[in-house]
Structure 1
């Protein structure tokens, strides 16, 4: 891919793509995603752009990564005109907590030096429970972070072993309580459901554990067997069963039922937030992820990170050493890019907004898409609400098929 783009401008983009970075209304919501590619071990199901110390050797380090992030921030700030105010920041990975609390605050300080962060901005970091502590959360809160997302996955030791997670079941719960004690009002726990060997009792124990903590947000994702992962190789060799679709559906229904009973409501197919009255509290929802679902602008920093600004999408070089070396030459480490046309933008709008509890607005849909959506209403998979269509409980289980049916029909 190195030859795909003639890097004639510091932005790493040329022609129309480069021009689109400027001239955007400064009031348009804008976020930063910062990718930390380091992990202590590689989980068998994970296909994210991550590296263990053994895989990297001496080719890259947290320090060279930090230097690269600061250079990319410099170039991003120079490329965006007028200056954009940052309303959300999300540090993901990988395992951001491997940087330690002070290391993550250093990253946030680097952003502050180059961008204006809006008053009341949401600033989130993912964390592996095993690499956190009470002091870690104290450092983050004092440094300006406002939201914590913890990878729990399961309360079952057996399930964690199958997933090749290194933390103990109780550590995620302790971490959530430590984050609350440090002053964090917004805390998320991630669950993975449908792991082969997981029982109904395992899932209930996980939900009991989650609901015993002071979290106001839960994300729950079905286990997906991604090509190229260790998990996929085990499935192919018959060492472990593939997730069963019927089991996944039953698990999802159980999760939704339990969380709803406990006062959390769904606002995206895989995300629940503490309710305020009859609706999920906007303060508890992840504003950064909502920005993705609403196709607003964000800049992704770090190896392999993706960005979207004013209809241009690009993605960075994946390997941390190549990422840092490109930035050392004064050029953004863009591997390739695409300019979205009207059809692309429309398709993505339908795909993303349909997953939200706020629903898919009628305005902007073609007559044919409205007709097809009404068929799903007749089938009980969508309901009509003022201005749009919303997935029913049954529709959430078939969200991808409903979205595909609206866009392309039978």
Structure 2
């Protein structure tokens, strides 16, 4: 990253570095990608690796040393930009399974960020965690280190659903972990659900929601099962061992969980996210949806600063080799055009409960608003386009209409 190199629109060569002009002026966050998992879930296509897949080519120790160096290099490059590096409003440690690092390992990640960047007062600091690799001592440690939010992968309370998803935790462990996190004083606790898994029934979803609500969490994320190419689940569906998720069933399940969560005081603020209060909303993810800047550190992590986006090499060993040799781990980069930035603004902002300002739309987009309103997919409130309940089910279609 440099502000003095010749301006280009993209780059992919191994030595190519993203060309930054300045920060974009929005909130600034840091995402850290932990690529390690104990087992591979059948539905997952994230950039993750088990110990058996990595062998001796990479380890948490080599990953952490490379991460420290990447953060230091990025901080130096940001310091060369015209504007001062903003204070970090949010940190999100994701993966993979960050909790495999243990409490001390996650504390070390946050220390490495503090060594190179300034955390804003009241910064939100989140880590994802697998319920099976947590404990009361784990939550005590990360709370003492400065983590304010934890997101636990629950997926379902039904054992047969977890088995299809290749999840290894027992149905009750996610709730117990959420209660332990709250008891440790972690301010915000999220549980992740997946709905629409083959074999899941309405009763299974109700049991999952009962468990979520019994845990007293203040945030819930719920995603429909997507069969991603190249996954074990996709191969099972292709062989006819499992049926593909049914769109009508997915829509009915979404309406069912939304009604239950709303009745319990958890209101949607993004199509797949519900929170008990404004404070409980995930500020880091809101930074993505609102077009903020963020540094993505770690194998395969994506970054966005001032309209420039870049992404790191994926394999942990190649990532570490690149960084430890003194280079940057970017695999490629692009400078977004005005049209691309407009498209992303519409795609992301329309999913929020606060809606998309009409002033952000071009003439064609404003003309299309009447069509989505006539179809019952959105409404106009205070010069904003806000999805209706039906519109949330068809959000992608609304985006296509607004973009023409």
- Which category of TM-score, normalised to the shorter sequence, fits these structures? over 0.9
Q: CA deviation at 1:331?
A: 1.1
Match of 1:29 among 27, 31, 34: 27
Cα deviation for residue 379 of structure 1 reads 1.2
Deviations 1:1-60 (A, max 9, x none): xx93262xxxx51xxx4242xx437x6421000000000000000000000000000000
Q: Distance in 2 between matches of 1:4 and 1:311?
A: 17
Distance in 1 separating the partners of 2:378 and 2:177: 38
Q: Specify which of 208, 212, 215 is matched with residue 213 of structure 1.
A: 215
Q: What is the aligned counterpart of 2:186 among 184, 187, 192? A: 184
Give the distance between the partners of 1:132 and 1:385, measured in 2 at CA.
44
The aligned length equals 390
In the other structure, the counterpart of 1:270 is 272
Q: For 1:272 and 1:49, locate their aligned partners in 2 and report how far apart those are by CA, in whole Å.
A: 26
CA-to-aligned-CA distance 1:70-119 (integer Å, 9 cap, x gap): 00001110010323311100000000000001110011011111110000
- For 1:61-140, what aligned pairs fall within 5 Å after superposition? 61-81=59-79, 82-140=84-142
1:393 aligns with 2:368: no
Q: Which residue of 2 aligns with 1:171?
A: 173
Superposition pairs of residues 240-389 of structure 1, within 5 angstroms: 240-274=242-276, 281-389=277-385
Distance 2:249 2:187 in 1: 34
Q: 1:55 aligns with which of 46, 53, 70?
A: 53
Distance in 2 (CA, whole Å) between partners of 1:104 and 1:208 is 31
* CA displacement, residues 346-378 of structure 1 (integer Å, 9 cap, x when unaligned): 000000000000001000211221111111111
TM-score with structure 2 setting the length: 0.95
User: Structure 1 stretches of 5 or more lacking a match?
Assistant: 275-280
- Does the alignment pair 1:404 with 2:400? yes
In 2, distance between residues paired with 1:365 and 1:141? Answer: 42
Shift of 1:295: 1.2
Partner Cα separation in structure 1 for residue 336 and residue 316 of structure 2: 27
Query: Unaligned 5+ residue runs, structure 2?
Result: 1-10
Output the TM-score relative to the length of structure 1: 0.94
2:126 & 2:88 partners in 1: Cα distance? 13
How far, CA to CA, are the matches of 1:19 and 1:172 in structure 2? 42
